[in-house]
Structure 1
Amino acid sequence: MKQLDLLNGKIFPTMLRLSTPLMLTAFIQMAYSLTDIAWIGRLSTDAVAAVGQVGFLIWIAESLTVIPRLGMSVLTSQSYGSKDYHQARLFLNNGFWLAIIMGILYGTMLLIFRDPIIHFFRLEEQVNRLTEAYLLIIAVGMPLFFVNPVLSGAYQCLGNSKTPFRVNAIGLITNIVVDPLLIFGLGPVPALGIRGAAIATVLAQGVVFLLFLNIIRQQDDLIGQSHLLRWTFDRSALFKVIKIGIPASLQANIHALISVLLNRYVASFGALALAVGSVGSMIESICWMTTEGVAIAITALVGQNYGAHRYDRVQKIYRVCIQLLGTIGMISTFIIMVFRYQLFQLFVPGDREAIALGAVYLLILGVSQFFMSFEIGCSGFLNGIGETRQPAMVNTVFNLLRIPLALLLMPLYGVEGVWAAMSLSTILKGILLFFLSNFQGRRLDLRADH
């Protein structure tokens, strides 16, 4: 598969060609969860709440995956830009194996400590039973949740966003077809309920992994030359991947853990509120998943040009990205706020109480969508130049701020107070990261002049 030349040519067309498959890939990742919720919502609200609980554990897994994915992507793109292909292969190989090891360890931990994890939200016993049934299967397949994003990142950082899009699209189609079949049964296939949804999700991830391996085996590109199935252990490369990835991963994990704590507050208002929050966050991810795709493209573009010392081009990339991020933020705000009732009705049809509360959720969070675009996109720019600590610090501080804000607003506004705390902190993060990325861009201007 042909890779885009990220060091030459017009920036905006290159950005679109690189980011469009990335945005679509991000939507595919979101669609895995939405597919489960769409079908499970037809089982019961308790089943939705159960999947929502496991969803936060998957979110923590995704946050941990940032270590090998981001570390490998930034270092590989910079090495590729400077034409140090040997070092790039080492980063690819060690990032891949780091993901496998982390996935095995995390899945094992979920199996061992599933009881205290499940009872953390203090929900009804029938919800806990459904949660355990779903979690056991997801935990077994957890290594796939770690390694597939790293394989996608390997292609993306080299300028090939089409291959991971096509592979993940096939995985999504697999999930869409198998999900209702295993949940509700058909002919000789028994109805497995929530277990069927978990099996379908893991099966789809397995298909994605096998497709990636087949493509790597057939193509003699930089990824194929990295011999991923044989660990070329290099202590320096491994430590560099971890060093680059840890700040962003810590920030993402703190964000996830804070969200778990906030949802414990939400759960105190009942399973309906938790289910609404789970579905609402997935709908809201229309914005952040789209922007995440653009942010990955920004990191790849900036990383390669920064590695090649093309600082003038890096600054031009930044200006184009700011315009694109603003556009995405405005469109997302419009869709979520104007069509909030219709969007929620897609996932909990017939439940008027859930739809009404869900519309309130989307109204509150819709206010922050524009700022969320800058939060994620500007973080991608800073990551591309290797400044992973700045966005990590900003996100961590303002995510922690959500706890006292929620405790302050809950007595006044109930569950809506928790959601308001989330929205306000996102607005503050977006503003500050915009100014930080702008400052770093101006510093690059000075380096280009000299």
Structure 2
Amino acid sequence: MPTDKKRNDLLTQPIKSTLTKMTIPMMMGMVALMSFNLVDTFFIGLIGTDELAAVSFTFPITFTLISLTIGLGVGTSAVIAKTLGSGQEDKAQIQGCSALILSTVLVIGLAVLGYLTIDPLFILLGSEANTLNHIHDYMQIWYLGAVFLTLPMIGNAILRASGDTKTPGIIMALGGFINAVLDPILIFGWGPVPAMGIQGAAFASVAAWIVSSSLIIYLLTVQRGLVELAIPAFDKLKLSVIAILKIGLPASGASMLTPLAMSILTAIIAQYGHEAVAAFGVGQRIESIASMLVLALSMTLPPFISQNLGANQTKRVQQAYKMSCRFVLFWQLGVYVLLAVCAPWIADAFSDNEKVQHLICIFIWILPVGYGLQGIVILTNSSFNALHQPMISVQLSILRLFVFYVPFAYIGGLVGGIVGLFAACVIANLLMASVSFMRFNHYFKQIQITSKA
């Protein structure tokens, strides 16, 4: 079977080289996808301010559905990787098919509900007449194609579970590239293609999703044999769905907590003026780029952990986790030094307002110090999901965001203004990283005690 070599790499090959080979292509795919998404935003901005505002209004809704899919992907990867690690290939095929069926049914149901409630829902969110028509034009197409957004995400999770991260990276980049190419053609028109405005942006996205979906289904069913074509028997389908949801639903909920916490934090920062909010917004974009490797590793470490869990190789699980944490700390330290040196030029590139530039520099000189610590928290959460302990991940997410990060930021702001707020965020990351690392070690000590008993 085509997955044999991949699986053996995860179970027997050196940990460092295996994780490196898995993470690099995933990171490259994420960089490409992010670049193309910036192009997408650029073209929508060229249509007009109302259209750009309309797309911004859609973010909470689209992110909710995407968060559900991300969670299902986490559950899918964890369940299938553990099954493959235990050598049960036929069962893994059934689980892969079940994951695609589950995600399709759930997303279609939510998309239909969303389609029927576009106007009242976005009015409730604060949309006014100048943006509501644009939102309707965009979302009715987005909802109709939402299932094709889901299939590649779940399919990529199945590929990662088998140890293949190169193909998911390529598919991510391909989808972003198709979207970026079609955007100007469909938005502004070209030759016989009429200008469609914001609807063109939605059609471009859906077209990219359809191509990615077709490719991923072909790879999974025909080329790799990771998913069986026949619909599983109901009892097997039910068991697979329950196993995926057991991890996927908590992971989805945890994913939704971050934007909620960031919204609260933004409201706190707004007390220091619009310039502070602008600088924080720039900082968030910088963080997403500076933490790219952490995010890539958080998608490649889990299948390694789950497969070795399935093979009862817990020592390799612990070694991989600790090695990843050490690497992230050193890597992010290097990133911080680079950002700190380049801070004035970065600030100048993002704003011509002197106060905003000053605040961007302060952000860069303080917050990125904690990105390595934040990376440990992210890796710990993804590792517990891979260990089939999703509720521990949820608990750690709540602890990080609503016990440490947001409260510390508020108190830090009261004590030291915006500088104190940023510094408090670093302290919160330090404390949370310590808690996360100790929780992971405690979990395996409990396992050892239980096994001896």
TM-score between both structures, scaled by the size of structure 2: 0.82
1:158 aligns with 162
- The structure having more radius of gyration, on CA atoms, is 2
1:56 aligns with 60
Please show how residues 37-186 of structure 1 align to structure 2 within 5 Å: 37-43=41-47, 47-119=51-123, 122=126, 126-186=130-190
Contact 1:32 1:172 in 2 (8 A): yes
Point out the more displaced range, 297-306 or 434-443: 434-443
2:160 is aligned with what amino acid?
Q
Contact 1:300 1:384 in 2 (8 A): yes
Give yes or no for the alignment of 1:304 onto 2:314. Answer: no
Q: How many Å apart are 1:238 and its aligned residue? A: 1.0
Please show how residues 284-363 of structure 1 align to structure 2 within 5 Å: 284-339=287-342
Please show how residues 166-245 of structure 1 align to structure 2 within 5 Å: 166-221=170-225, 223-224=226-227, 226-227=228-229, 230=231, 232-233=233-234, 234-245=237-248
Give yes or no for the alignment of 1:434 onto 2:441. Answer: no
Determine helix, strand or coil for the equivalent of 1:7: helix
2:391 aligns with 389
Q: How many Å apart are 1:171 and its aligned residue? A: 1.4
Q: How many Å apart are 1:332 and its aligned residue? A: 4.0
2:138 is aligned with what amino acid?
Y
Contact 1:138 1:198 in 2 (8 A): yes
Q: How many Å apart are 1:66 and its aligned residue? A: 3.3
Point out the more displaced range, 259-268 or 391-400: 259-268
Question: Cα distance 1:153–1:200, how it changes in 2: closer, same or farther (>3 A)?
Answer: same
For structure 2, list consecutive stretches of 5 or more residues without a partner in the other structure.
none
Q: How many Å apart are 1:90 and its aligned residue? A: 2.4
Q: How many Å apart are 1:86 and its aligned residue? A: 2.8
1:251-285 superposed Cα distances (whole Å, 9 cap, x missing partner): 11233344456667789999998887666534421
2:391 is aligned with what amino acid?
R
Partners of 1:118 and 1:277 in 2: CA distance: 26
TM-score between both structures, scaled by the size of structure 1: 0.83
Partners of 2:55 and 2:281 in 1: CA distance: 8
Question: Cα distance 1:186–1:143, how it changes in 2: closer, same or farther (>3 A)?
Answer: same
Partners of 1:423 and 1:14 in 2: CA distance: 31
Partners of 2:434 and 2:319 in 1: CA distance: 21
Equivalences, count: 446
Question: Cα distance 1:53–1:435, how it changes in 2: closer, same or farther (>3 A)?
Answer: farther
Contact 1:345 1:355 in 2 (8 A): yes
Point out the more displaced range, 150-159 or 19-28: 19-28
Contact 2:30 2:173 in 1 (8 A): no
Of all paired residues, the percent bearing the same amino acid is 24
Partners of 1:353 and 1:127 in 2: CA distance: 31
Q: How many Å apart are 1:95 and its aligned residue? A: 1.3
Contact 2:119 2:132 in 1 (8 A): no
1:414-440 superposed Cα distances (whole Å, 9 cap, x missing partner): 999998887765555434222222333
Match of residue 6, structure 1, among 6, 10, 16: 10
1:39-60 superposed Cα distances (whole Å, 9 cap, x missing partner): 3344555554443332333322
Partners of 1:294 and 1:78 in 2: CA distance: 18
Q: Cα RMSD (Å) of the superposition?
A: 3.8
Contact 2:84 2:92 in 1 (8 A): yes
Partners of 1:87 and 1:26 in 2: CA distance: 30
